Amino acid sequence: MLQLKNLSEPSLLVDLQKVRGNIARMAEKCHKHKLIFQPHFKTHQSIQIGCLFKEAGVNAITVSSLAMAEYFAADNYSHIHLAMPPIASQAARLQQLARKTNLSVNISCTAHLQALKNTDGISVFIDLDPNYGRTGIDIANHNLIAALVDEVEQSTHDMAGFYVHNGTTYQQPGATKQLHQNALKAIVLLREKLSYNGPVYFGDTPGCSTAQSFEGISHLTAGNFVFYDLMQAQFGSCSEEDIAVCMACPIVEKHHEKQQIVIHGGAVHFSKEQLISPSQTAHFGQLVHLHNEGWSTLQPNCHLISLSQEHGIMQLSQSVFNSCQVGDFVGVLPVHSCLTAHSMGKYVSFDGESIRTMNL
Site for a second copy, rule CB under 8 A: 5-10, 42, 64-67, 84-85, 87-90, 93, 108-109, 111-112, 115, 134-135, 167, 250, 252-253, 262, 264, 267-268, 271-274, 308-311, 313, 325-327, 338-339, 342-343, 345, 359-360
Q: Which H or E run includes 329?
A: strand 329-334
Number of residues in the chain: 360
**Cα–Cα–Cα angle for 243, 247, 253, nearest 5°?**
140
Q: Where are the alpha helices (DSSP H) in 124-175?
A: 142-154, 168-171
Instruction: Evaluate whether 190 touches 162 at the Cβ level (below 8 Å).
Output: yes
Of the two residues 51 and 67, which places its CB atom closer to a second copy in the complex? 67
CA atoms within 13 A on the CB side of 339: 18
Of the two residues 218 and 246, which places its CB atom closer to a second copy in the complex? 246
Distance CA 55, CA 335 (A): 28
Where are any strands of DSSP class E within 10-140?
A: 11-14, 36-37, 60-63, 79-82, 102-107, 122-129, 137-138
Of the two residues 149 and 252, which places its CB atom closer to a second copy in the complex? 252
Of the two residues 9 and 75, which places its CB atom closer to a second copy in the complex? 9
User: From residue 167, how far is each of 57, 156, 170, 180 by CA, in Å?
Assistant: 27, 31, 6, 10
User: How far apart are CB 183 and a second copy at their closest, in Å?
Assistant: 17
User: How far apart are CB 43 and a second copy at their closest, in Å?
Assistant: 9
Of the two residues 218 and 337, which places its CB atom closer to a second copy in the complex? 337
User: How far apart are CB 260 and a second copy at their closest, in Å?
Assistant: 9
Of the two residues 276 and 326, which places its CB atom closer to a second copy in the complex? 326
User: How far apart are CB 312 and a second copy at their closest, in Å?
Assistant: 10
Of the two residues 112 and 219, which places its CB atom closer to a second copy in the complex? 112
User: How far apart are CB 244 and a second copy at their closest, in Å?
Assistant: 18
User: How far apart are CB 137 and a second copy at their closest, in Å?
Assistant: 10
β-sheet bridge partners, residue 246: 13
Of the two residues 85 and 199, which places its CB atom closer to a second copy in the complex? 85
Distance CA 109, CA 169 (A): 25
Handedness of CA 63, 67, 69, 73 (dihedral sign): negative
**Cα–Cα–Cα angle for 71, 104, 50, nearest 5°?**
35
User: How far apart are CB 346 and a second copy at their closest, in Å?
Assistant: 10
User: From residue 23, how far is each of 49, 77, 242 by CA, in Å?
Assistant: 11, 17, 11
- Measured in whole angstroms, how far is the alpha carbon of residue 190 from the centre of its chain? 27
| Of 359, 267, 353, residue with least CA distance to 13 | 353
User: How far apart are CB 281 and a second copy at their closest, in Å?
Assistant: 18
β-sheet bridge partners, residue 14: 245, 349
User: How far apart are CB 195 and a second copy at their closest, in Å?
Assistant: 27
Of the two residues 106 and 299, which places its CB atom closer to a second copy in the complex? 106
Of the two residues 100 and 264, which places its CB atom closer to a second copy in the complex? 264
User: How far apart are CB 57 and a second copy at their closest, in Å?
Assistant: 26
Which DSSP state fits 88?
G
